[in-house]
A and B are shown apart, each in its own frame.
Chain A
Amino acid sequence: MDPTALNLADTKAGLAAGDFTAADLAAAYTSRIQKLDEKIGAYLHTDPDPAIAESGALAGIPFAHKDLICTADMPTTAGSKMLAAYQPAHSATVHQRLAAAGATCLGKLNLDEFALGSSTENSAYQLTHNPWNLDCVPGGTSGGSAAAVAADLCVFATGTDTGGSIRQPASFCGVTGLKVTYGRVSRYGVIAAASSLDTVGFLTKTVRDAAELLQIAAGRDPRDATTGDQPVPDYVAGLRTDLHGLKVGVPKEYFIEGLHPEVETVIRAGIDQLSELGAEIVEVSLPHTDAALAAYYIINPSEVSTNMARYDGIRFGPAGQGDDLVETYFDARTKGFGDEVKRRIMLGTFALSAGYADQFYKKAIQARTLVQQDFERVFEQVDLLATPVAPTTAFRIGEKSDDPLEMYLADIFTIPASLAGVPGISVPAGFDSAGMPIGLQLLAGQWQEEKLLAAGHAFQMATEHHLKKPQL
């Protein structure tokens, strides 16, 4: 039996039963990566001889990181030329926690440069191909993570989600993607994109796997002041197989023109499934949904422009050439950043510049309040929301890469939750007529991951979409 086909729970069971050893397991993944990753392009870096731990909740479980997560024993590029030679001095808290639990880090996965994009095409290094159709994108920005999990190139992968970067690639690649409440998982050692929005989560083969990983990763970290000290419940114990007593809202603003009819059909069927499992389904409204995308594309670039200021060729990046210090900044930044990063920096610089800050930035953070209030109001009436993750299935490589606005619109259903800081999960809910996966998005109130995971698990116990594998 090929152990790489197994989810986390079954891999652990196989190790415990002695069906295979941790060394066999690591070797099976390493050889699968060697055989298949040439056509997928998920990995930016692999460890030829990964350390294998013998104890811990994740002892010997092979996983990989989105290459935005700093690792002291492996390079970290953020998908950018700017960090081509960067070797972090420290490891992210999420890495430390997974390593302490015994997980085996196989390597680092491709992403859009500095986590800016929706297709992983903005990586400065390589394209990642969708395992379900190699001509299509895997989504982004955690595209390498989603493709690697879908192609069985790791048991699970970390990801980050700022505006949909875990949920959308999970939907495109037919895997489970968990985006946590803002501050639920430490971001210490995770390269910042937009600091008021960035979250760290997981791409997994099942919801149950995500519950187990969140248990390990969640909680207060003194090194990340934005982590909350809310208690971390026993997520695995909280999993359910029915949804009796739960109220699920279906926001009408998410079923709009532009939502592909085949996606809508699958999502509606998914909602019917939730109803069959015992949930009460009600229509709800999030009236500021339309404003969310516009607000996001002011807030995100503004914060990106600030965070990217540190890449000046002094501490990070290629040493700039020039006659004086300022010229070296220009040179390093011009050479080190790709087009999308330059666009975001400039959009943000503009939105924050004298004479425009009130019109754009201030307005956007007020709109953010209205978006958040929408969610607060609706979660007084319902436990969960069920929506599409993305308006379409995975699009073709190159299809949107010359039109940034079109690319931004791919995030229309994931961005509002990011602005509100609420958690969400993408669970495989079916396929379109071309065989491409479609994810159902479940959202819950802040710190309510337990409800999301419980419902997502019940959905997977009743369906088989998450068990289908791409032919490679």
Chain B
Amino acid sequence: MQLTAEQVRHIAKLARINLTDTEVERFTTQMGDVMQHIEKLSALDTDGVPETNQVTGLTRVTRPDAVEDFGKEKALIACSQNPIQDNQIKVKKSI
């Protein structure tokens, strides 16, 4: 399938990425080429074929529900480049 510029703009919005008009044009062509290749799959008969999400057969891996002190919250908070206040990251208003 070929993608339209409108579709690419919509996808970019969903993905929280701003695109310039030139970028929209370039990505529309490039992603369209990839989608055309991917469409090969539609010819594949997958009726009744189970889905593979985990390839080595692990299911429901759990660990003991025990609190472990990571002990590095200051270093973690320091990863942020936003202002820090009271050991918390300060962000812009959300509503």
Are B15 and A298 in contact, with the CB atoms below 8 A?
A: no
Asked if A89 is an interface residue, CB under 8 A from chain B, the answer is: yes
Are A333 and B40 in contact, with the CB atoms below 8 A?
A: no
User: Which residue on chain A has the smallest CB distance to residue B92?
Assistant: A325
Are A337 and B17 in contact, with the CB atoms below 8 A?
A: yes
Chain A hits for B40, CB < 8 A? 290-291, 294
Asked if A381 is an interface residue, CB under 8 A from chain B, the answer is: no
Are B58 and A183 in contact, with the CB atoms below 8 A?
A: yes
Number of interface residues of B (CB under 8 A): 50
User: Which residue on chain B has the smallest CB distance to residue A328?
Assistant: B92
Are B33 and A325 in contact, with the CB atoms below 8 A?
A: no
Residues A166-215 near B (CB distance < 8 A): 181-183, 196
Asked if A247 is an interface residue, CB under 8 A from chain B, the answer is: no
Cα separation A323 to B30 with both chains bound (whole Å): 32
Chain B hits for A446, CB < 8 A? 56
Are A362 and B16 in contact, with the CB atoms below 8 A?
A: no
How many Å from the CB of B23 to the closest CB on chain A? 8
Cα separation A353 to B27 with both chains bound (whole Å): 18
Are B15 and A346 in contact, with the CB atoms below 8 A?
A: yes
B-contact 0/1 string along A272-303, CB 8 Å cutoff? 00000000000000001011011101100000
Asked if B5 is an interface residue, CB under 8 A from chain A, the answer is: no
A370-B44 CB under 8 A given contacts A314-B82, A324-B94 = yes
Asked if A232 is an interface residue, CB under 8 A from chain B, the answer is: no
- B41, B44, B80 pick with most chain A CB within 10 angstroms: B41
Residues B18-76 near A (CB distance < 8 A): 18-19, 27, 30-31, 33-35, 37-42, 44, 46, 49-56, 58, 61, 63, 70, 72, 75-76
Chain A hits for B16, CB < 8 A? 312, 326, 329-330, 333
Consensus secondary structure, chain A interface: helix
How many Å from the CB of A210 to the closest CB on chain B? 21
Cα separation A342 to B27 with both chains bound (whole Å): 9
Extra A-B contacts (11), CB below 8 Å, given A183-B58, A346-B27: A89-B76, A294-B40, A305-B15, A314-B82, A314-B89, A325-B93, A329-B16, A337-B17, A343-B27, A350-B35, A419-B55
A-B pairs, 7 with minimum CB distance: A421-B55, A89-B75, A366-B46, A225-B61, A325-B94, A365-B51, A89-B72
Give chain B's interface residues, CB within 8 Å of chain A.
3, 7-8, 11-12, 14-19, 27, 30-31, 33-35, 37-42, 44, 46, 49-56, 58, 61, 63, 70, 72, 75-76, 78-82, 89, 91-94
Q: Show 14 A/B contacts (Cβ-Cβ < 8 Å), sorted by A.
A: A85-B81, A226-B58, A290-B40, A291-B41, A294-B40, A346-B8, A349-B11, A353-B14, A362-B51, A363-B41, A368-B52, A369-B50, A369-B52, A421-B55
